[in-house]
């Protein structure tokens, strides 16, 4: 992480990525460019799966919260 290089500069790091500010930004830009070329149906499927996944995640978390709650809070 970039912030760690500033806050813990004395830490030994045997591997470093060349062109740190440029390479990640270019990677993000190229991914966004490729995503912009996807058909609308692909985006619709992505949104549908995202909503289904969030519903499953929320219901699972809700079940865990109720299972872990003391009897007085149920």
Give Cβ neighbours of residue 43 (< 8 Å, ≥ 6 apart): none
Contact predicate 15/5, CB 8 Å: no
H-state helical runs in 8-39: 22-36
Contact predicate 4/11, CB 8 Å: yes
Measure the CA–CA gap between 37 and 8, rounded to whole angstroms. 40
The pLDDT tens digits for 2-51 are 566 667 777 787 777 788 889 889 999 999 999 999 999 999 999 999 99
The pLDDT tens digits for 37-69 are 999 999 999 999 999 999 999 998 887 776 666
């Amino acid at each position: 992480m970039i912030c760690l290089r500033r806050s813990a500069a004395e830490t030994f790091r045997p591997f470093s990525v060349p062109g740190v500010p440029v390479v990640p930004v270019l990677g993000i830009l190229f991914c966004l460019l490729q995503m912009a070329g996807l058909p609308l149906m692909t985006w619709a499927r992505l949104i549908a799966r995202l909503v289904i996944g969030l519903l499953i995640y929320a219901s699972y978390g809700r079940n865990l919260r109720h299972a872990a709650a003391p009897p007085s809070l149920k």
